[in-house]
Amino acid sequence: MRLKLIISIHMDTKSKKGEYIEILLRSPKTVFSTKDVALLWGEEAENAIYVRLSDYVKNGKLIRVYRGIYAKDKNYNRFELATKIYTPSYISFETVLTRTGVNFQYYGNIFVATYVTREIEADGQKISFVRMKDFVLSNTIGIEQTNDVSIATKERAFLDRIYVSKEYHFDHLDVLDWDKVFEILPIYRNKRMEKKVAEYFKDYNSAR
């Protein structure tokens, strides 16, 4: 959908000259896509948006962190950046599994579930995008909103990894809430996953 169609209903709130940068700086967002900026400014002229943003970058008022994505300063939320590049998307896989103690190995990449598989580098940060089917990606069970960022719970991240990997070793399954695992599992509509999760659950119980 073109930018002008997205923000056409916001034209009654179009910003005035001199207010543009202040609106961005007052926003709780730390990272802005051009679509975000269009909505905040109530501006439908794409060229005007790009010219104004380029001027702010040249004058040091904003920084460009990726194509069409800008930040207030270097202290922006890198998870927020990762989920702005492709939408819909959410933080998952090893990024969540390591942070929650399911896995012990550290990964410098940020792992994101979205509709494409791709690895990029944005402002020095490597980001790994992993494709999920639309019906999985659109189901929000086991996904939480934190500071304008969608992040999988450890149970959802555990299942996401099983969904895309036939064989995978998890270091510490004791931290999982297995009731939540089995509550989320049906959204994947995957018999192989059901068998694999049952195996992990059996191993977990055997080790207790």
CATH number at residue 64: 1.10.10
Q: 208: which 2 tokens?
A: 């207790």
Position of tokens 């923000």?
Answer: 7
Same domain for 87 and 47:
no
Q: Count of domains in the chain?
A: 2
Instruction: Give dist(CA 19, CA 21) in Å, integer.
Output: 6
pLDDT at 118: 98
- pLDDT recorded at residue 46: 87
Give the domain extent around 54. 3-71
Q: Do 118 and 192 fall into the same domain?
A: yes
Which pLDDT score is estimated for 44? Answer: 81
pLDDT tens sequence across 77-122: 999 999 999 999 999 999 999 999 999 999 999 999 999 999 999 9
**Cα dihedral sign, 8-148-73-65:** negative
Whether residue 76 lies inside any domain: the answer is: no
Name the DSSP class of 10: G
Among the candidates 46, 71, 96, a domain finishes at: 71
Determine how many CB atoms are found less than 10 A away from the CB of residue 150.
Answer: 19
Phi, psi of 76 (to 5 degrees): -70, 160
pLDDT in tens, 125-184: 999 999 999 999 999 999 999 888 999 999 999 999 999 999 999 999 999 999 999 999
Residues 115, 199 share a domain: yes
Cis peptide before 88 (omega within 30 of 0): yes
Look at residue 110 in the predicted model and tell me its pLDDT.
Answer: 98
Q: Which two tokens stand for residue 124?
A: 């020095």
| pLDDT, tens digit (0-9, with 9 covering 90-100), for 32-44 | 999 999 999 998 8
Name beta bridge partners: 143. 152
